[in-house]
């Protein structure tokens, strides 16, 4: 999605009521991909109709997969089996979606035909050697730019073989890429994680009839198995809920219930971090949906305090740190994050961009090589450039709940990648937000 758009957010207010945020982005991507190479029909409910997941959907259609929808969060995928994908007529443009590019590279590494994966300017700066090198070790023929970035060119016709690979960083995208490639490899493909990462791929493979073997931090998948289509219920995305967990925590008088949220234990680092800071978060009505644990989350305003966040929590909250940084900016004392170098190679350099945005609001924030130091207080008003990063844009919109003056967030169009309708959803529970496109008000909230 092109750059542009801005949010104007009034200071103060509280978050009250009930909200179901859009479906989980990570699970939506994987349901499409695995449903496409399964045999039979996979019906996905709760699908995230955001730009990133739609990029995956369009790519799979270009590969010959019949997909109905999305309509009201439902997508029906008519699987073609492991070897039923067809050569596309052009390069697959994946927009801003790193998940699409990294996971599809694994799925396509063992195909008989060549394919090129491209993306927008932001995606074309993100590191890809972390997947292309282990894929090459499996026998894939894959090229990048001299800088190790997209476009990725897969020559096709490669005979893949299983490898035993130690991940250099804890990354669910790298792990999932190699497990998907392992479906096409001779023998076993095993991945060792230095720390637990989200396990949606493993859970979904099990649900489709091909459970990976696990032993400690080692996950192995056998090549050549058949997957079988099934119904998949996508829970609400905890990464999207995180903005409201923080907003209700920092805004006095807030009492908000977030419904049907995925609480996979490999994703709940943000809840643990906020609770350590003093947040009042209840996990209600725990249950299972589509092989994933879900629950309702009730969050009420509470005084927060700064804490040390160590490397062990980073993989469990990697996408939620922009929201966590806003909580730290409103907490008493100092919050110190370490071991989070991975944040520098997301949709933006999230450490640097968040530090600059907090500084623009008068918050003492000092970036470090692998994290940030934030001294809490009361943010002021001001203008923040999100640099086209959807999570940073939403984080600073929520920060206005405790700001001393109005907050303007620029370059907000990419919020549609993960949270379509964010301004309306936030307005519905109490945030005073106006979304503007091209300078003209497009939506207005709670005057």
- Which residue shows structure tokens 């405790």? 402
For residues 374 and 331, what is the distance between their CA atoms, to the nearest angstrom?
Answer: 9
Residues near 357 by beta carbon (within 8 Å), at least 6 away in sequence = 384, 385, 386, 392, 396
What's the residue count for the chain? 447
| Active-site choice (93, 120, 319, 385) | 319
| 52 catalytic per annotation | no
C-alpha angle 417/423/426, rounded to 5°? 115
Strand order in the sheet with 308-309: 308-309, 334-337, 371-375, 364-368
Give the residue numbers marked as catalytic: 319
């Amino acid at each position: 999605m092109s750059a542009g758009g801005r949010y104007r957010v009034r200071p103060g207010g509280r978050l009250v009521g009930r909200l179901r945020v859009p479906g989980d982005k990570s699970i939506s991507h994987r349901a499409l991909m695995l449903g496409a190479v399964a045999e039979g029909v996979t019906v996905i409910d709760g699908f995230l109709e955001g730009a990133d997941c739609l990029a995956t959907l369009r790519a799979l259609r270009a590969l010959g997969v019949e997909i109905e929808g999305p309509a009201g969060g439902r997508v029906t995928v008519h699987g073609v089996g492991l070897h039923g994908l067809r050569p596309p007529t052009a390069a697959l443009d994946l927009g801003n979606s790193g998940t699409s590019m990294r996971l599809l590279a694994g799925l396509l590494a063992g195909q008989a035909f060549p394919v090129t994966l491209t993306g927008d300017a932001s995606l074309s700066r993100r590191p890809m050697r972390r997947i292309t090198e282990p894929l090459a070790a499996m026998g894939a023929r894959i090229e990048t730019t001299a800088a190790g970035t997209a476009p990725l060119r897969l020559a096709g016709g490669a005979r893949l073989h299983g490898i035993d690979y130690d991940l250099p960083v804890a990354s669910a995208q790298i792990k999932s890429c190699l497990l998907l490639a392992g479906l096409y490899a001779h023998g076993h493909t095993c991945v060792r994680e230095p720390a637990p990462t989200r396990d949606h791929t493993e859970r979904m493979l099990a649900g489709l009839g091909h459970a990976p073997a696990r032993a400690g931090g080692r996950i192995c998948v056998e090549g050549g198995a058949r997957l079988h289509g099934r119904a998949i219920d996508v829970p609400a995305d905890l990464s999207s809920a995180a903005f409201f967990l923080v907003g209700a925590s920092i805004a006095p008088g807030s009492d908000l219930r977030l419904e049907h949220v995925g609480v996979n234990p490999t994703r709940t680092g943000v809840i643990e971090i906020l609770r350590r800071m003093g947040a009042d978060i209840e996990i209600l009505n725990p249950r299972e949906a589509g092989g994933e644990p879900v629950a309702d989350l009730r969050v009420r305003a509470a005084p927060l305090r700064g804490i040390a966040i160590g490397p062990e929590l980073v993989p469990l909250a990697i996408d939620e740190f922009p929201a966590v940084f806003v909580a730290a900016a409103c907490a008493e004392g100092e919050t110190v994050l370490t071991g989070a170098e991975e944040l520098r190679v997301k949709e933006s350099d999230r450490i640097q961009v968040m530090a600059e945005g907090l500084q623009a609001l008068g918050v003492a924030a000092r970036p470090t090589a692998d994290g940030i130091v934030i001294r809490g207080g009361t943010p002021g008003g001001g203008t923040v450039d999100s640099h086209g990063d959807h999570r940073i844009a939403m984080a600073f919109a929520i920060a206005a709940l405790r700001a001393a003056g109005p907050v303007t967030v620029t370059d907000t169009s990419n919020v549609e990648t993960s949270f379509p309708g964010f301004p309306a959803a936030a307005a519905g529970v109490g945030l005073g937000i106006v979304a503007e496109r091209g300078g003209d008000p497009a939506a207005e909230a709670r005057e």
